[in-house]
Each structure stands twice: as C-alpha cells, then as structure tokens.
A and B are shown apart, each in its own frame.
Chain A
Amino acid sequence: MPTEVFSVMVGGKAGEGVKKAAQVIAHLAMACGKHVFQEDDYQSLIKGGHNFSIVSIGDRPLWNSYKQHDLIISFDDRSIRTHGLELNPAGMHFCNADDCASADDSMIRLPMTSLARDSYGPNGNVSLAAVVIFSKVCGLDPDLLERTIHKEFSRDATGAITYLKKLDFVLNQLDLSPLRSWHQASEPESKLFSGNQLIALGAWAAGLDLYFSYPMTPASSILHYLALKRDSHKVYSIHAESELAAANMAIGACFAGKRCAVGSSGGGFALMQEAFSLAGMVEAPLLCFLSSRPGPATGVSTYTAQEDLFFALNQGHGEFPRIVASPDSFERAFTLAAELMDLAWEIQTPAILLTEKHLSECAANVHLDGHYLPDAPDSLNPKKEDYKRYAITESGVSPLKFPGCANSTDADVIKWNSHEHLESGVRTDAAEQIVAMKNKRKLKAQSLSLATKRYQRIASYGEGTTLVFAYGSTALELREAMKYHPFKLIVPIYLEPFPEEELEAYRGKEAIIVEHASQANFAEFLRIKLGIKAKANILRYDGRSWDSIELAKLIREAEHA
C-alpha cells in the first residue's frame, strides 16, 4: 500500500464557491508540507447544478485525485445524495443543516447557510465553511487559518472572520476529535498550479508576448490567466472575435517577430484548420494549445477526453511539417510549452501542445526549477543583403527577418505568401518551383526530427513485466495506479515527429494500452508506428478521470485476460 492519502471532497451548487474552498484547502495542506492534487468537476452552468472538488493530500507526490474520501463537506442535499457513499471508514461527512433532507445520523450537521447569512448578509456564501471544517478536522493551527482567510477571502475579510467565529463556536460545541494534527511546515518550495497555468507560464518563459484566443473550455483558463498577468508580465491576451481571427492574428504577430500562441479545444481547433495550414505554407512558428474534451461537435464541455489525437496529427490541409507533443505531468506542461515555442521558431513551422481537461484544469503542488528550462537554440543569422524569405538552404529552414526591426533594413522585402511561392515570396504556379518549395518543406521535416532529439521525447515510469502505453494526462492516472500494482509505463511525449529511436526496443511487443477514447485511437497509432500488439485496451470515455485504485485493478485483470 502507498503512503497515507487524506482525501477531501467539497460538493455543492455552482456559485457556492466549491472550487475556491478546494483551492484554499490545497494551500493550507501545502503550508503543512503536504503534497496535493486538486480536481474540479463542474458543469456548463453558472448557478445551481452540482459541482464538486477533490483535494487529495499526501506525504509523497500524488499524481491523481482519489475518489473515496476521509472528509466530505456537502453544501447541499444533492451533494449528500451524490457522494454519501464515497466516505472512507473513520471518515467524516459534514453537511449543511439548512439543506440536508437526505442526511443520515452518521453525518455532522452545521447550519452553514444561516451562519453565512448572519455573517455576510443575505447573499452570504458558504465557501469558507469547508475551509474551516477542514482546518478543524486536520488539527491546523488557528493562526494559520486566520492568516489564510485574510489573504484568500479578502473581498469581505470582516464578514469572513465573523463567519469563522460563528462556525468555530458551533464546531467547538460538537466536541469532535480531529482526524489529523498537521502543523505548519517551513515555507514550501512548490506552488499550486493548474496545468493551464503551467502551459501559459512555460510559453511566457520562452518569450510569449501575445496570446490570441476565443474562449472554449477547457482551454479558456489560459486566456484568463494571461489576461490577469498583463501588467505584471507584459503579456497581452487578445480575446479575438473568433478562433479564425485568433489564428490569423497570431500568424501576423509571428511575421512581425513576436512570440505568440493560440489555444482552444477541439471545436475551436476545427475553425483554426485553415490558418494552421497557412502557418505550414508561410512557415509561421504558430504555437497552439489544444485542450481536449469529449466530442464530436460541442460534445461534453467540461469533461476530459483523448479523442483528438489523429485530429491534432492531421490538423490543416496539405502537406507540411508540424510538431505534436503532449505533456504527461504538470512539470512537463511547463517545459514542453517552452520547448515547443523554441522548436516552432527554430524550424518555422506550427506546433501543437495536445492536452486534456484533466491536466489543463487539475492542480497540484509543483516545484518549478529554472534549471530544466532549456536554453533557446541560436536563432538564424540572416544574410545581410538580397534577402529572400524562402531562400533554399541545406536544412530547409530559411532566415527570418522582421519588418521595421533591428534585424532588417529599408532594402529588405519580407514577403510571406499563402500561395505556393518563389524564394522571394512572390506567388508562383510554375511546376519546378512548386517542387522546389515542397522539397524545401520536406527538408524542414528532417531538420525538425533532428531538432526534437535535443529534448526528452519519451518518459518511462515504474518497473514490472507488464508493459503499459499511454500518453498525456492518462500517464498521471497510471503513475498513481502504479502505487497499487507494479507495471512498466511507457509514454511518448512527442507524437510527431515520432520518437522511433527511443521506442525501437518495444517494436512488435505486446502491451496494455490505456486511453480516454472509445475507438482506441492511441492503440491504432502505436500499431501503425511500432507494430505494438494490444494485449488489452483499457478505454474510458465517460469524460471522467480514473480512480487510480480502480485502474490498477483493471490492469491486473488485463494481465490475466
């Protein structure tokens, strides 16, 4: 069995501050030197419905959230009905005495809503109640709680402190024995980040100045996060009129020499296809973040999926080199965003960071270490005279100049062209020129393949006779599952160019393939690329993440299938 995990679940209506409570609980646990993994389950609505957040807490790193809990806090009756059976033995379920028709005697009732109204006024929010209960149950220092409340509930700190006092009074009367007694540790080295925040920061570290996007869950929080950072990070988030606008704007920004990115989910990417193809043709270093949710079409807005693998690999019409890579951890979300930015600019071709809601919107304590952010490769030094945008070179990569910038002069004409073109960038229909440019782009594909070798292209975790393949955030679920059953997990980080050399040892092997798709796309991909034979396909396509304990069991069963 793994080291101890203490899991907290907060459930309630949208608008009750479920996610906020979970974030503060995660921060408090981190302040006590713990590792955390936070997952938010919410629906496409603003008020009402049912939202819940899980914060799983451990002494060692956690790679997934747990689905059975030691502490459940239900803000409403629906949460009791939905999660009542998810309590571990010896766990505690606190419910809101103001809305708990289904509560049984084992649950602890607190008048959360009425106390909130007494404290804040008629629109009082119950969010803080979960934080106070957690703090009590885990034996946290009251000072730490009060300091945290001042910081995290600053909009109405006076109301919040009043609420705390009232909750404290009622809780003290219950005479509960805390389940844990955690103490504040020294300042933690790690910070709580969501995958999307890390993607945004990784790209920013690698020079991102402009981000063009149209909101679409689960990519929207990149737009929101960067928009907040405008003044502190001098990064500009442009909410464009559509994904088509965003992608075409980004190509314009690349032309003028600024590192930028676009982001969306599958539907928005479908709209960006033509611009993606344009990036291939004009040789624009267009960095894209594709965060998947279940499709097709609008699909399931706020849940996770890996249905877009082939969509990402085949994005855009026509033939041109592209990069597709998928982060298998929070840290990798950061480094990969930076790597892909560098690679896109080095080879001047579009790149997709493919991820899923599960990584985009889950959060964990992440220790970012500047050392693992690789340096940018030297940029090409353009010839001084007779500049040709599409000059044919040995690598296929042509020198880049930017209009009105230090690296160009009044004599330079810098033409990017969506038509097939001459080296000068002027349009052509001539047969031999078409072939010359197609060959140039083929050369770039080879250069790209070489360039990616500079980076870690696959990851491998665990030991065991059973071989398991997965990509993206499914690797997180599997690393947690590994704590319950041993196996060897192989994760291609780069999907295009495909890291064939690193994976050669597995060619033709039998493996269990785990993915969030109904049609085993990744298994098909591995069959094509490596001749991997699927001993078993473990597929999940209900939009939900796996319970890692359950996943470990499925792998054990698959071994004996």
Chain B
Amino acid sequence: MRNLNTGKENTWCVGCGNFGILAAIKKSITALNEDNIPLADIVITCGIGCHGKIFDYLNLSGIYGLHGRAIATAQGIKLANPKLKVISFGGDGDSLGEGLEHTLFAAKRNIDLTLILHNNGNYGLTTGQASPLSYMGYKGLSTPMGNVETPFNPITLLIEAGATFVARGYSARIDHLSTLIQKAVQHKGFSFIEVLQPCVSYNNNYDLYNDRCSLLENTPQDDEQARHLAKATEQIYLGVFKQELKPEYCESIKLQDNPQSRTERMAQILR
C-alpha cells in the first residue's frame, strides 16, 4: 500500500488532539484497504481551520475546499461517482457554523458519505474565538466577557437531521476512533462521527475527557435513549449512538451513468 504520509511539515501545536485523529484515520485507511477498498476509491474533503490541515498530511486524493463547504463538495463527488468512499473532515466552526446547512442537508438526504467532526470547542486557527460548540462562559477573543450562547449537541442535532450512523470518539483513544471510522465508512448512508479533540492552546480539556469519557456498552435502542446518553455530562459516552439502514440518496434518485456519445445525445435531441 502507498505511504499515507505526504512529507509536508506538520504545523499543529505540540499535543494537539488532531494528531490522534490523523493516527486513527491512517489506521482506518490501512484497514479499509486490507478489506479490499482500493486507495483510488477513497477521497477526502475538508474545510478551513486546524482540522483542514489533515488534507496536506494525508497522501490521499481529494479537495481542500472552502470554509464550511467541504460537505457540499463531498456530496458533489459522491453524486459524480457513487463508487467512491468519501470522507469529509470538518471543524466545529466549519461544519456547524459557516456550513451548518450542508451538514444538516447531507444528513437529511442520507447520502452515503462520512463526516468526521473535529470538535475542539473553539476556532483554533483564528486564535481561539468561540465556536458553535464552545461551552457557556467560554472566554475567547470574540467573547472576552464569556460566551452567552448555548452550544449545540452535535450528536442529538445530527440524529434529528436524519443521519443514519451517529457516533462519538475521542482523539486520545486512537484504536476506538479508528474502529468507529471504519464502521462509518462501511455504513451505507450518511455517517457522522463527533471526535472530542482537545485544543492545547485555547481549550485544553484532556483532563476532563480522560476523567469522564467512557464507552457505551451497546448501541442505544432508540433515538430517545441515544439523545439522553449523548447529553450526559457526568459521563461522556463514546461509541455508536445510532445505526440504521434507510434509503440512500444516490439510489433514491436512481443515479446511473450516461455513456451516450455527443452524436448520440444530439440524435436524441433532434428526434
């Protein structure tokens, strides 16, 4: 298998949670490849922010897109070639702020691709402003008196939007996260993984996560239980909150290749 490193100098902060996500994705890609998914069929997209740098560190094909739009770009790729396994990386500002509409609509469509949300609870690359997932009271450059907005809960939000695979991982639990990514990629339909990702510079919550994270014993039996467990704060649960099979978008619109030549198309128009 091709080396998954690009040789590009890594500029994440020392101790950044993104290193764990990078390690987990490489492990997942290797495993998927051993599972007979050719690297040529794996494509990534990402938005703009610390998470996006993963594009330059992964020797995989894809589009380093616009802030917030990577999940839209990913859907275009999937529609053009449904055979491809498309993995989209997003930050919390990226996928739940600037590009919230695309995240919700991708889930609503149940289009077969995977969104990995790097949840570091702030805008790291633009020096720590509050994000849609920042806790109440979070102090950043744009909220020096403390964030007054209630953060989204990404798991319950995506369940409500219609995602058919919803999970949570933690960047420091690489093996567990890698297993989640593999399951998500193999899931037929829209899959979403919230990855708890400590930001050592602006939101260092390693201690909190190390203390409170625990694995779900089973996939919750219904959405109500899933939402209840996703909202728990004394224990922060990791694992698959929801997995079900529903009609997938590309199949629902009966997407087919059109091999007609220009002459054949012209003849059809003139008929």
Q: Chain A interface (Cβ within 8 Å of chain B)?
A: 201, 204-207, 209-210, 212, 230-231, 233-236, 238, 240-242, 244-245, 248-258, 260, 274-275, 278, 282, 368, 370, 373, 375-376, 402-405, 408-419, 424-427
Residue pair B64, A417 in contact (C-beta under 8 Å)? yes
- Given A205-B262, A403-B81, does the pair A251, B62 have CB atoms closer than 8 Å? no
For the complex, give the distance between the alpha carbons of A419 and B55 in Å.
Answer: 11
- Given A245-B105, A258-B81, does the pair A275, B64 have CB atoms closer than 8 Å? no
| Chain B residue at minimum C-beta to C-beta distance from A417 | B64
Chain A residues whose C-beta falls within 8 Å of the C-beta of B30 in the assembled complex = none
- Given A210-B80, A251-B76, does the pair A403, B40 have CB atoms closer than 8 Å? yes
Chain B residues whose C-beta falls within 8 Å of the C-beta of A416 in the assembled complex = 62-64
| Chain A residue at minimum C-beta to C-beta distance from B83 | A404
Residue pair A403, B43 in contact (C-beta under 8 Å)? yes
The distance from the CB of B218 to the nearest CB of chain A, in whole angstroms, is 34
For the complex, give the distance between the alpha carbons of A419 and B267 in Å.
Answer: 43
Chain B residues whose C-beta falls within 8 Å of the C-beta of A411 in the assembled complex = 2
Chain B residues whose C-beta falls within 8 Å of the C-beta of A234 in the assembled complex = 256-258, 260
Residue pair A278, B77 in contact (C-beta under 8 Å)? no
Interchain pairs with CB closer than 8 A, number: 173
Q: Chain B interface (Cβ within 8 Å of chain A)?
A: 2, 6, 8, 38-41, 43, 45, 48, 55-56, 59-66, 69, 72-81, 83-84, 101-102, 104-105, 253-258, 260, 262-263, 265-270
Residue pair A404, B63 in contact (C-beta under 8 Å)? no
Chain B residues whose C-beta falls within 8 Å of the C-beta of A278 in the assembled complex = 65-66
For the complex, give the distance between the alpha carbons of A256 and B38 in Å.
Answer: 16
Residue pair A370, B266 in contact (C-beta under 8 Å)? yes
Residue pair A409, B64 in contact (C-beta under 8 Å)? no
The distance from the CB of A317 to the nearest CB of chain B, in whole angstroms, is 12
Residue from B2, B258, B268 within 8 A of A410 (CB atoms): B2
- Given A403-B84, A413-B60, does the pair A236, B66 have CB atoms closer than 8 Å? no
Residue pair A245, B61 in contact (C-beta under 8 Å)? no
Residue pair A252, B270 in contact (C-beta under 8 Å)? no
The distance from the CB of A538 to the nearest CB of chain B, in whole angstroms, is 36
| Chain B residue at minimum C-beta to C-beta distance from A193 | B269
The distance from the CB of A308 to the nearest CB of chain B, in whole angstroms, is 23
Chain A residues whose C-beta falls within 8 Å of the C-beta of B78 in the assembled complex = 252
For the complex, give the distance between the alpha carbons of A233 and B271 in Å.
Answer: 13
Chain A residues whose C-beta falls within 8 Å of the C-beta of B102 in the assembled complex = 241, 244-245, 248
For the complex, give the distance between the alpha carbons of A242 and B99 in Å.
Answer: 11
For the complex, give the distance between the alpha carbons of A376 and B43 in Å.
Answer: 28
For the complex, give the distance between the alpha carbons of A375 and B41 in Å.
Answer: 31
Residue pair B84, A256 in contact (C-beta under 8 Å)? yes
Residue pair A230, B55 in contact (C-beta under 8 Å)? no
- Given A403-B84, A412-B61, does the pair A249, B269 have CB atoms closer than 8 Å? no
For the complex, give the distance between the alpha carbons of A427 and B65 in Å.
Answer: 12
Chain B residues whose C-beta falls within 8 Å of the C-beta of A415 in the assembled complex = 55, 61-64
Residue from A245, A373, A408, A425 within 8 A of B40 (CB atoms): A408
30 contacts between A and B (CB under 8 A): A206-B262, A207-B262, A210-B76, A210-B80, A235-B258, A236-B79, A240-B72, A240-B105, A241-B105, A242-B101, A245-B69, A245-B105, A248-B66, A249-B75, A251-B65, A252-B63, A252-B79, A252-B80, A253-B79, A255-B76, A256-B80, A282-B63, A368-B269, A370-B263, A370-B270, A403-B41, A403-B61, A404-B81, A417-B55, A419-B64
The distance from the CB of A328 to the nearest CB of chain B, in whole angstroms, is 21
For the complex, give the distance between the alpha carbons of A404 and B84 in Å.
Answer: 7
The distance from the CB of A217 to the nearest CB of chain B, in whole angstroms, is 22
- Given A205-B265, A205-B269, A376-B262, does the pair A404, B8 have CB atoms closer than 8 Å? no
Question: Across chains A and B, which 4 residue pairs bring their CB atoms closest together, nearest first?
Answer: A252-B76, A249-B76, A256-B80, A234-B258
